[in-house]
Amino acid sequence: MSLPIVDVAPLLAGRDDAAVASVASDIGRACEEDGFFYVTGHGVDPRPLERLARQFFARPLEEKMEIAMARGGVAWRGYFPVGGELTSGRPDLKEGLYLGAELGPDHPRVKAGTPLHGANLWPRSVPELRGAVLEHIARMTAVSQAIARGLSLSLSLAPDHVFSHYTSDPTVLFRIFQYPPAIDSPALDGWGVGEHTDYGLLTLLVQDEAGGLEVKTRKEGWISAPPIEGAMVANIGDMLDKLTGGRFRSTPHRVRNRSGRERISMPFFFDPGWDARLVPLHSPRADLDRWDHADVHAFDGTYGAYLARKVARVFPKLFADVIATAKH
């Protein structure tokens, strides 16, 4: 079994014809079946950014720690070393950079001390990284808005429904991870990141040729989602699951780097606005037993509150030291 491939070029072109309807139908089918699909026709070339990322991760640890996440304060930005991030309570076998929308001190949410809002931390050793990241975020946001249009159409809604209700001011988060080769360790069990689902609406993943991504499909169980040249991997998150009453499912996935060398992964998270409340289109389905036994459909609050609660589990010390004390 392999994941479906969807060419989103008609959506990006802003067309309103049979081709767009066909793309929307393909997206809807993929979201109903396993919540994962490959995206082609996106027009994004991630290779220059990948090269810069490798330059950064090759720097000495003490140099990378100059932009450690603790220095980012409530903005939740910066570098963490291997084992510094938890998934389901277990340390991940990866290091990474947390990034997001670049917000200055005069932005209202920054002035209010809102968690996960603020300026990025940029390494002095790779100055070109700043411009490359911000350009990548802009391009990925445009692709995501186009896919959101396809999601709206696939649900028989107005084309701008997702945009007007949830993503006119999206929560945009971006990560650059480097996974060392899998190892046997009592503390790190070899999984680059363990089984999990994403939190928001849509994730677009750029992965290098090392591969290692696995998806838990309903019919076949765990399958590999290997890299396809020129394609990204898209998957939906918990909030789209909630919005559709479980018609579209946020599917568990995990990573184990068996390539024998470093793996670069760059997930882009396109999520509802911080203050958005997701109103379900349908009552939740009865067969919604999740891998973690959680009930995303029972949550009633803003996306920001949901995300901040998740942060507490991913970086518990950072949350306790910095984010828990911030204003909400």
Look at residue 33 and tell me whether its pLDDT is greater than 70.
yes
Poorest-confidence range of 38-47, 186-195, 276-285, 294-303?
A: 186-195
Domain of residue 159, residue span: 5-325
Confidence of residue 328 (pLDDT cuts 50, 70, 90): very low
Short-list 222, 208, 225, 187, CA closest to 261: 208
How many domains is the chain partitioned into structurally? 1
278-283: long-range contacts, CB 8 A cutoff, minimum separation 24? 278/166, 278/239, 278/242, 278/243, 278/303, 279/165, 279/243, 280/242, 280/243, 280/244, 280/245, 281/155, 281/157, 281/243, 281/244, 281/245, 282/244, 282/245, 282/247, 283/245
Cα gap 105→110, rounded to integer Å:
6
> Where are any strands of DSSP class E within 86-220?
86-87, 90-91, 95-100, 171-179, 193-196, 202-207, 213-217
The total of other beta-carbon atoms located within 10 Å of residue 63's CB is: 13
Q: Which residues 6+ apart lie within 8 Å of 209 measured at CB?
A: 227
Look at residue 211 and tell me whether its pLDDT is greater than 70.
yes
19-39 as b/e, with b when 16 or more CB fall inside 10 Å?
Answer: ebeebbebbbebbebbbbbbb
Residue 181's pLDDT is 86
Determine contact, residues 233/213, Cβ cutoff 8 Å: yes
The total of other beta-carbon atoms located within 10 Å of residue 168's CB is: 12
Q: Provide the token pair at 41.
A: 């026709």
Mean pLDDT, the chain, rounded, equals 91
As a whole number, mean pLDDT of residues 52-81 equals 96
Q: Which residues 6+ apart lie within 8 Å of 286 measured at CB?
A: none
Cα gap 59→198, rounded to integer Å:
29
Each residue's pLDDT tens digit, 78-91: 999 998 888 777 88
CATH number for position 275: 2.60.120.330
pTM value is 0.93
Each residue's pLDDT tens digit, 109-130: 999 999 999 999 999 999 999 9
Determine contact, residues 207/94, Cβ cutoff 8 Å: no
Amino acid at 148: A
The total of other beta-carbon atoms located within 10 Å of residue 187's CB is: 8
Determine contact, residues 30/36, Cβ cutoff 8 Å: yes
Poorest-confidence range of 28-37, 109-118, 250-259, 319-328?
A: 319-328
Residue 84's pLDDT is 84
Residue recorded with tokens 């169980």: 221
